[in-house]
Amino acid sequence: MSYARRALAVAWKDLAVERRSKETLNALVFFSLLLLFVFQFTLGGDRERLAAVLPGVLWLGFVLSALLALGRTFLVEREHDCWEGLLLAPGDKSAIYLGKLAGNLALMLVVEALVLGLFVVFFDIDLGRALPGLLVVVLLGTLGLAAVGTLFAAMTANVRARELLFPVLLLPVQVPVLLATVKATEALLLGEPLGAVGHWVKLLLAADVVYVVVSLLTFDVVLEA
């Protein structure tokens, strides 16, 4: 019970700080808008070309936003000298990881929902039947991104050039997730049912389980290192 309470406290704290300061949220929304403008101007109105690149464009937007959001995961602790406080908290540190993961997941999903809405408006897409399947894929893909991203953010929180190191570490590990999400999104946008992309969904599920379990097991070591 104490474990869950501690995890919830960390998630609540991150979300409360973000809700009041809106530092990350404002930056992410602005960044996403810029990204969509750039893509809109680049791709123009060619529907055929658009259909081919849309899944990649969507996930590029998600991944770049995630890199910005996840990179700041422990920044609030560094800015307020609270890092040592978390280190000295007695008990299983993986509760802190779970709390941070939940906070990141919530923030990323809010931004992604916004990006997806703007995506529909900018590119005049009818999600219609694809939406439920797309939500599943986005949820699983975001969990995979957030799981490893939260761990790597802790690893790089106290190193120099962490802004450089963080994406360099994160993106190679995310290859299975990116591959599965882009392929599944492509199929769903083409009107295929979720069952048709079952193998990609299974890959996403497996990747998520592995990422979360490994992160939970190693977070204590990462934090103490």
Partner 1 sequence: MHSNRAWSLVAVLVTLTLFGGASRAVSQAAGRVESIPGMPPVTNPTNLYSETTADKLSPALANVPPRVYVPNVKSHEVHVIDPATFTVIDRYKVGKNPQHVVPSWDLTTLWVTNNAEGRTDGTLTPIDPITGKPGPDVAVDDPYNMYFTPDGKSAVVVAEAMKRLDFRDPKTLALQGSVSAPRCGGINHGDYAIDGRYLIMTCEYASRLVKIDWRARKVLGYLTLPDGGIPQDVRVSPDGAIFYVADLKAGGVHLVDGDAFKHVGFIKTGVGTHGLYPSRDGTKQGQRVGRRLLDSPGRRHVDVAARRQSRHGQSERGRQAPVALGPLRPRRLCHRHVHRRGHQDDPRGSRAPRPHGVAAARTLLARPHRQHALKGMSVEPVVRIIGVRKVFGLVAVLDSVSLDIRAGEAVALLGANGAGKTTLLKILATLLRPTRGAATIAGHDVARAPEAVRPLLGVVAHGAWVYDDLTARENLRFWATVGGLDAYADDLTVALAGVGLERVADARVRTFSAGMKRRLSLARVMLARPRVLLLDEPFAGLDQRARKWLEGRLEAMKAAGAALLMVTHSFGRELGIADRLAVLAGGRIALDTARGTLGPDDVQRLYAAHAEESA
Residues 58-97 that bind partner 1 (CB under 8 A): 76, 80-82, 84-91, 96
Q: What are the CB-based long-range contacts (under 8 Å, 24+) for 188-195?
A: 188/130, 188/133, 188/134, 188/137, 189/51, 189/54, 189/55, 189/125, 189/127, 189/130, 189/134, 190/51, 191/129, 191/130, 193/133, 194/132, 194/133, 194/136
Contact between 205 and 143 under an 8 Å Cβ cutoff? The reply is no
Nearest CB to partner 1, comparing residues 61 and 99: 99
Nearest CB to partner 1, comparing residues 56 and 91: 91
CA angle (171 as vertex; 149, 117 as ends), nearest 5: 75
Nearest CB to partner 1, comparing residues 110 and 196: 110
When binding is defined by CB under 8 A, the residue of 9, 120, 164, 171 that contacts partner 1 is 9
Measured CA to CA, the distance from residue 166 to residue 131 in angstroms comes to: 32
193: left (phi over 0), alpha (psi -120 to 50) or beta: beta
Provide the mask over 19-38, with x wherever binding to partner 1 is found by CB under 8 A and - wherever it is not: -xx-----------------
Least Å distance, CB 99 to partner 1, is 9
**Looking at 15-23, 142-150, 152-160, 187-195, which segment touches partner 1 (CB under 8 A)?**
15-23
Least Å distance, CB 12 to partner 1, is 8
**Looking at 11-19, 139-147, 155-163, 179-187, which segment touches partner 1 (CB under 8 A)?**
11-19
Nearest CB to partner 1, comparing residues 16 and 171: 16
**Looking at 14-22, 32-40, 58-66, 142-150, which segment touches partner 1 (CB under 8 A)?**
14-22
Give the binding site for partner 1 (CB under 8 A): 2, 5-6, 9-10, 12-13, 16-17, 20-21, 76, 80-82, 84-91, 96, 224
